[in-house]
Chains A and B, each alone.
Chain A
Amino acid sequence: MSSAPKDKPIDCDVHPTVPSMTALLPYLEPHWQEQVTDRGILSLDSIAYPPNLEFTARPDLRENGLDFNGLTGQVFDSWGADRAILNCIYGVQMVHNADMGVAFTRALNDWIKTEWLDRDPRLAASIVLPMQDTPACMEELERLQSNRQFVQALVLANGEEPYGKRRFWPIWEKLEQLNIPLGIHAGSSYHNPVTTLGWTNYYIEDYAAQTLGFQAQLANLITEGVFVKYPGLKVVMIESGVTWLPGFIWRLAKFWRGVRREVPWVDRPPGEYIRENVRMTVQPLDAPAEAEALEKTIDQMQSDDFLLYASDYPHWQFDGDAVMPPMIPENLHRKIMIDNPRATYSRLTQTAGAA
């Protein structure tokens, strides 16, 4: 990795760890502080990332500490990132009480701002959206939009409803206006089973089934016409596994050809919207280690604009410092590490170097 800042990668998926609900208490209104303490809410961790599992935090990274120093030391010093985007996955989306969910999400965003963004200008972050309540999402964007270190809005792949539904459109309109991408990250509010068949028993299924959520969201955003209505909206699929995409596009396009008139505003093959509006982070990348496997995927996508470099810190997706998956062709490294992230996150270039 060259030392010139312009050649250093942008890490598009890094996870700060909320140590416990106690960490959010200073950011909550007194009413919600009391709710947390009276109810004994210690943590909002879910099955999605069992806190003590090796996969959730690679043992050596855990040993270095998952706090501010541990994260920045690893991502910037060891892996050489120029900027890193914090996607905080903490179960605020699981809370059924919408008022509580909104309060916890606001506190989480303020915690991210104060404990992370304010301490290091190299850090950027996603605004976690309280999807329990659409007006509250708008308020959260209004409240935080002026902070240019917030470069994305974050939702989980498996929410309460598909995101193409019109009740969410004001949020997508706002994101398009702000030129802030919508990040869809693996995970679930667990208000619905992760599979359409119902609840599964095992964590391994829960994690593997995330791709189903991504596929349903993608199909829904396209068929409901979100990219027709908001052509400037970028969607980043984070921790999606990537390689399922060409087959899914093919399937969607095949059925679109036959039943196009049902959704006449979709007047181009679905893959064209995906190529223009959808991006994906590269960790994890579900493919054998041979380079040809991914070259074929890129070839099938007819694009090399859609991949964004990401370590997925501290999840155990790779060993050592091999952040870039080995199957990604060398000639695409710079594009994936620097050019594609910059093109996706306009706020990153606007704030680069600014304190």
Chain B
Amino acid sequence: MGKHVVSTVPELPPGERKRVEVEGRKITVFNVRGEYFALNDRCPHEGGPLCTGKISALTVSNDPGTYEWTREDEFIRCPWHGWEFDLRTGHSVCDPKTMRVRLYDVHVEPGGDLVAEKKLVAETYPVRVEDNYVVIEV
């Protein structure tokens, strides 16, 4: 497992997403209201481009005819078949036991720490001590 720099913090503002390829894996990192999520691009259902899908809430209901809008922007919907996935757990809503998308650890690290840490893998990304970076672990 290694750390990979995805972008600087200002390059990935809230509401934006960035697609990267790390060790042959296509991964998309999302900034949702200042919180970062990293998902495998590929939908585990039929292989659709999950990470180009819409981010939305989970509509639930305890009573027919009522609609509760919950956990806004915590779910992504695959553009191919509409399957919803929980950004926090990777579980699908319709078949959580058997169908989930791979998540990756993502966080912000100061450039100084990254430079000091020799394990960093960031071949194409220049890291400056004075900036903060979005980093995934793959």
Cβ of B89 under 8 Å from chain A:
no
Contact A225 B65 (CB under 8 A): yes
| Given A257-B94, A264-B60, A166:B65 Cβ within 8 A | yes
Q: How far is the CA of A259 from the CA of B81 in the complex (A)?
A: 9
- A257: contacting residue among B61, B67, B81, CB under 8 A: B81
Closest to A166 in B: B65
Contact B64 A229 (CB under 8 A): yes
Task: Report A-chain residues with C-beta under 8 Å of the C-beta of B59.
Answer: 261, 264
Cβ of B83 under 8 Å from chain A:
yes
Cβ of A321 under 8 Å from chain B:
no
Contact A258 B64 (CB under 8 A): no
Q: How far is the CA of A166 from the CA of B63 in the complex (A)?
A: 12
Cβ of B131 under 8 Å from chain A:
no
Task: Report A-chain residues with C-beta under 8 Å of the C-beta of B83.
Answer: 257-258
- A264: contacting residue among B68, B81, B95, CB under 8 A: B68
Contact B63 A265 (CB under 8 A): yes
Cβ of B86 under 8 Å from chain A:
no
Task: Report A-chain residues with C-beta under 8 Å of the C-beta of B63.
Answer: 225, 228-229, 265
Q: How far is the CA of A264 from the CA of B93 in the complex (A)?
A: 11
Contact B81 A228 (CB under 8 A): no
> How far in angstroms is the closest Cβ of chain A from B49?
16
Per-residue A-contact encoding for B55-79, CB less than 8 Å = 1, 0 else: 0001111111111100000000000
Cβ of A269 under 8 Å from chain B:
yes
> How far in angstroms is the closest Cβ of chain A from B116?
46
Task: Report A-chain residues with C-beta under 8 Å of the C-beta of B67.
Answer: 264
Closest to B64 in A: A225
Contact B94 A260 (CB under 8 A): yes
> How far in angstroms is the closest Cβ of chain A from B129?
46
Contact A269 B64 (CB under 8 A): no
Contact A228 B64 (CB under 8 A): yes
Contact A260 B64 (CB under 8 A): no
Main secondary structure of the interface of B (DSSP, over half): loop
Per-residue B-contact encoding for A252-287, CB less than 8 Å = 1, 0 else: 000011111100110101000000000000000000
- Of B59, B63, B64, B67, most A-chain CB atoms within 10 Å: B64
> How far in angstroms is the closest Cβ of chain A from B91?
13
Cβ of A224 under 8 Å from chain B:
yes
Closest to B66 in A: A265
Q: How far is the CA of A265 from the CA of B62 in the complex (A)?
A: 6
Task: Report A-chain residues with C-beta under 8 Å of the C-beta of B65.
Answer: 166, 225, 265
Task: Report A-chain residues with C-beta under 8 Å of the C-beta of B112.
Answer: none
Task: Report A-chain residues with C-beta under 8 Å of the C-beta of B60.
Answer: 264, 267
Task: Report B-chain residues with C-beta under 8 Å of the C-beta of A267.
Answer: 60-61
Task: Report B-chain residues with C-beta under 8 Å of the C-beta of A264.
Answer: 59-61, 67-68
Task: Report B-chain residues with C-beta under 8 Å of the C-beta of A166.
Answer: 65
Cβ of B2 under 8 Å from chain A:
no
Contact B94 A256 (CB under 8 A): yes
* CB interface residues, A 214-229, toward B, < 8 Å: 224-226, 228-229
Q: How far is the CA of A269 from the CA of B61 in the complex (A)?
A: 15
Task: Report B-chain residues with C-beta under 8 Å of the C-beta of A226.
Answer: 64
Task: Report B-chain residues with C-beta under 8 Å of the C-beta of A265.
Answer: 61-66
Contact B64 A259 (CB under 8 A): no
Cβ of B84 under 8 Å from chain A:
yes
Q: How far is the CA of A225 from the CA of B83 in the complex (A)?
A: 21
> How far in angstroms is the closest Cβ of chain B from A281?
28
Task: Report A-chain residues with C-beta under 8 Å of the C-beta of B84.
Answer: 260-261
* 9 A–B contacts from the bound complex (CB under 8 Å): A225-B63, A257-B81, A257-B94, A258-B82, A260-B84, A261-B58, A264-B68, A265-B64, A265-B66
Query: Which residues of A does B touch, CB under 8 Å?
Result: 166, 224-226, 228-229, 256-261, 264-265, 267, 269
